[in-house]
Structure 1
Amino acid sequence: MAATIAFVSTSTPYDDDRHEYSRAALARLVLAHRARGLSETAGSLTVTRYDAYNGAGSRVSEATSLITLSERILISAVIYERERGSSWEDIGRYLDVTGPAAEERFAVAVEEWRTAFDVPYRLDETGRKRVPQLPTAAYDPRRVSRDLDLWAQVHLLLSDKHAVSGGLDPTGDEEPQPEPVWDEIDGRVQLHHLGTFLALLAGYTHHEPVDEGWDAVTKAVEAGGDEHAYAMAGVFESLDIRMTLDRDSALVFVLVANARSADLRLRINTLMDAFDRP
């Protein structure tokens, strides 16, 4: 029987964005992303209202998951420290072990992280499905940075709009980089889902559509050859929405601007993520 050769793609849809960041910046972003996950998981343990509906031992299971997440965060922290130039002795000092002991424990994880940049996907056992080798935050750093900036504002009550992205050096240069601007949120929506998307967005702003409602907007986008603009005037905030239809894929490219509050931007971003799929 002839041997089957598995070809693994060395490119991803987000290569251009990822290449704008140094590996140290990407490692720091992965650490931040996983820390957020731990925070949210730990937060669920503070709620007692529904304890009676949980099975025996379930809270122990949740607590155990925090240990697993903490171990992943520790590995991410070590990878970041290695990428920023920290020695194994520096790392071992905070773990109360020697440098060689720290290297023995974490060297494989660091090597896997670095190898994944050369081969970002591997094929599964069927040879058909591509399995990502990099953490999510390293694949799509722009979107994850935006998510974490909004999360920090809403949940940590920070006034800094770029609390996460502002400390990342996208290029690895010594010169300070301008702060990214997330005032515009973009995404893609299937044409047949556009009305539902706009209705949910209007609910966030307490906006009432004019004329024939969202069906009319969808038809206008479908009929128009260029960008279609819609002003969504709400009770507390007003949004400027621009929509462009790609007829080959039936995808509508949507850009939402002027969302001022962090809570609204987080809602819009979550909505974009939910609709940005077939």
Structure 2
Amino acid sequence: MTETTPYDQARDQFSRSALARLVLCDRAVRLAETAGNLAVTRYDAYTALGGRVSEALSLVRLAERLLVGAVIYERERGSSWEDIARYLDMDSAAAEERFTPEIDRWNTAFVVPYHVDETGRKRIPQLPTAAYDPKDACRRLDLWAHLRLIVEDKRAVSAGLRVSFPTDDTADPSLRDIGGWIWQRNLAAFMELLSRYVDSDFDETDMDRLALGLEATDDEDPDGWFAYPLIGSTASLEVRLANSVGSDVLSVVVAGAWSAALRLRIDTLMSALSADAQP
């Protein structure tokens, strides 16, 4: 596979330091969200013995990944190993030895951005998700900062990045699009809940029509997506879907969610229906 994808074109508009910063932002948000879950006590009675230790350990591992992301970003922005080592309580040689394998993986991913799966059809990105699809990362992280941190700046994350396309979603409506994936088995639940969010009717007939439209789709083909309109009394959405050939995954893009609160609900729903392990 030598042809470029829309992800490649979007990534080319970011500096490498901006991509590294987005990865750092994304890992910081994941750590914050996971830590927040551990703070809740309401469901402690339903947690297996030792379960909170497992959750705490996951935070430690996320923090380690966050540290790696910070080092990669600092190297991309020109920090020396001496600059970095000063905050790690080690000498520069030890810092370089510890983090060079991660730096090498990061650099290699720009030279060989994809591996191809056993079918020979599906690309497997080698970059972290936020660097692979920076346009979506900007949208998602800006929304998180605006709603969760309650900041007035709607571009709190993307505003400081070096990019060559407008990140103001009034200039580019596609920045409001919510993209991701879900397991195929969760499609009905996804559409039913999405229809409730906009007060739209969605029944078995609609599901049959959607299933039929999906049969010949391929998310690697820009023209191989199926668009389904979801017209509700509170909002009108366009749901674009395509099969990820060779897997049990559906790629999804939801357009038309002009409300920040609605975008957050859709983003959360998509995350929930892609997070569970396969049976």
TM-score (norm 1): 0.70
Structure 1 CA distance for aligned equivalents of residues 85 and 168 of structure 2? 35
Match of 1:33 in 2: 26
Asked whether the 8 Å contact 1:26–1:138 carries over to 2, the reply is yes
CA deviations over 1:148-197 (Å, ceiling 9, x no partner)? 122222221222222212222124xxxxx6433134556899xxx99876
Asked whether the 8 Å contact 1:165–1:180 carries over to 2, the reply is no
Match of 1:102 in 2: 95
Match of 2:109 in 1: 116
Q: Larger deviation: 80-89 or 143-152?
A: 143-152
Asked whether the 8 Å contact 2:23–2:130 carries over to 1, the reply is yes
Deviation for aligned residue 1:272: 5.9
| Number of aligned positions between the proteins | 248
Match of 2:81 in 1: 88
Match of 2:262 in 1: 264
Match of 2:277 in 1: none
Equivalent positions of 1:122-141 (< 5 A) are 122=115, 131-141=124-134
Match of 2:232 in 1: 232
> Residue 67 of structure 1 is aligned with which of 56, 60, 66?
60
Amino acid paired to 1:36 = V
Residues 169 and 54 from structure 1, CA distance in 2 versus in 1: closer, same or farther, beyond 3 angstroms? same
Deviation for aligned residue 1:86: 0.9
Structure 2 CA distance for aligned equivalents of residues 219 and 127 of structure 1? 28
Equivalent positions of 1:9-24 (< 5 A) are 13=5, 14-24=7-17
Amino acid paired to 1:180 = D
Q: Which runs of 5+ in 1 are unaligned?
A: 1-8, 172-176
Amino acid paired to 1:32 = C
Deviation for aligned residue 1:95: 1.5
Q: Which runs of 5+ in 2 are unaligned?
A: 170-174, 214-226, 275-279
Residues 228 and 78 from structure 1, CA distance in 2 versus in 1: closer, same or farther, beyond 3 angstroms? closer
- What is the aligned-residue RMSD (CA, Å)? 4.1
Amino acid paired to 2:101 = V
Residues 198 and 218 from structure 1, CA distance in 2 versus in 1: closer, same or farther, beyond 3 angstroms? same
Deviation for aligned residue 1:242: 4.6
Asked whether the 8 Å contact 2:136–2:179 carries over to 1, the reply is no
Aligned partner of residue 70 in structure 2, secondary structure:
helix
CA deviations over 1:95-115 (Å, ceiling 9, x no partner)? 222222221221221121011
Aligned partner of residue 109 in structure 1, secondary structure:
helix
Aligned partner of residue 73 in structure 2, secondary structure:
helix
Amino acid paired to 1:259 = W
Aligned partner of residue 85 in structure 2, secondary structure:
helix
Asked whether the 8 Å contact 2:177–2:253 carries over to 1, the reply is no
Match of 2:70 in 1: 77
Deviation for aligned residue 1:79: 0.2
> Which structure's CA Rg is the greater one?
1
Answer yes or no: is 1:241 the counterpart of 2:237.
yes
Structure 1 CA distance for aligned equivalents of residues 31 and 180 of structure 2? 27
Q: Percent identity?
A: 49
Amino acid paired to 1:257 = G
Structure 2 CA distance for aligned equivalents of residues 98 and 91 of structure 1? 9
Structure 2 CA distance for aligned equivalents of residues 17 and 204 of structure 1? 30
Structure 1 CA distance for aligned equivalents of residues 47 and 204 of structure 2? 42
Structure 1 CA distance for aligned equivalents of residues 54 and 207 of structure 2? 48
TM-score (norm 2): 0.70
CA deviations over 1:105-131 (Å, ceiling 9, x no partner)? 21221121011111123468x797865
Structure 1 CA distance for aligned equivalents of residues 181 and 45 of structure 2? 41
Match of 1:160 in 2: 153
Asked whether the 8 Å contact 1:183–1:257 carries over to 2, the reply is yes
Amino acid paired to 2:167 = E
Deviation for aligned residue 1:40: 1.4
Deviation for aligned residue 1:64: 1.6
